[in-house]
Amino acid sequence: MARAAKSFGIASLALAALGCGACWAPAGAADLIGSAMIVERDVHGTIENARYTKSAGDRVARDEIIETGPSSATQIEFVDRTKLSVGPSSQVKLDEFVYSGGDKARKVAVELLKGGFRFVSGRSGQRAYEIRTPHAVIGVRGTTIGFIVTEESTTVILKQGAISVCRRGTRTCSTARRAEQRIVVGRTVLQGPINKRPNDLDFADWCRGGGASCGL
């Protein structure tokens, strides 16, 4: 698999664009891919079997797992200006970032393991992005998306742009192109796109329910 930003120097130059030249990074992390721009309460990162408390401005690395506690939240900004907001009691793995120079990437892949999230694509090409959950694989086309990931299912809420959602391990897929449409994927079913209904939850609801600020 191609690996980008192999040297600390390349990653540091990229992160300088974020104004984070002096930010903390996990010891031994070779591939620094962005920063935790906002940290609210209890946020941790785990990489190379070591767990660290995150503070605002800390760097994040490829293969790092970010976790938030109850009433906690964070916003990660990657070097291509992609933004990932992570709500309370959530967990995400920053799987892959293949750096292509400047402020763009050839591939940005994250795995949303549980919780509530908002994803805003950055300056990389539309086909660079891949988002996975335990139930689904999502292709992004210049998009703002909300996610709610539970043990039973993944709900993907389109805010802007277009998305393709496939049930993981199958060729069963669906596409949403209208704002507020959602696709729900379980281990054996895929439903949607479904137009928003009055009681449907979103990322903002997940944040409020967990006692965190949703101004991410």
Q: What is the pLDDT of residue 95?
A: 86
Q: Please state the rounded mean pLDDT for residues 63-82.
A: 93
Q: What is the pLDDT of residue 216?
A: 54
Q: What is the pLDDT of residue 104?
A: 67
Q: What is the pLDDT of residue 202?
A: 87
Q: Exposed, middle or buried by CB within 10 Å (0-12, 13-18, 19+), for 172?
A: middle
Instruction: Point out which residues pair with 63 in neighbouring strands.
Output: none
What are the pLDDT digits (tens) for 52-62? 999 999 999 98
Q: Is the pLDDT of residue 114 over 90?
A: yes
Nearest CA to 136 among 158, 154, 116? 154
Query: Domains of the chain (ranges plus CATH)?
Result: 8-209 (2.60.120.1440)
Distance, in Å, from the CA atom of 41 to the CA atom of 148, rounded to the nearest integer, reads 21
What are the pLDDT digits (tens) for 139-179? 988 789 999 999 999 999 999 999 999 999 999 999 999 99
Query: How much is the pTM?
Result: 0.83
User: 44 in helix, strand or coil?
Assistant: strand
Q: Say if CB 178 and CB 198 are below 8 A apart.
A: no
Q: Is the pLDDT of residue 15 over 70?
A: no
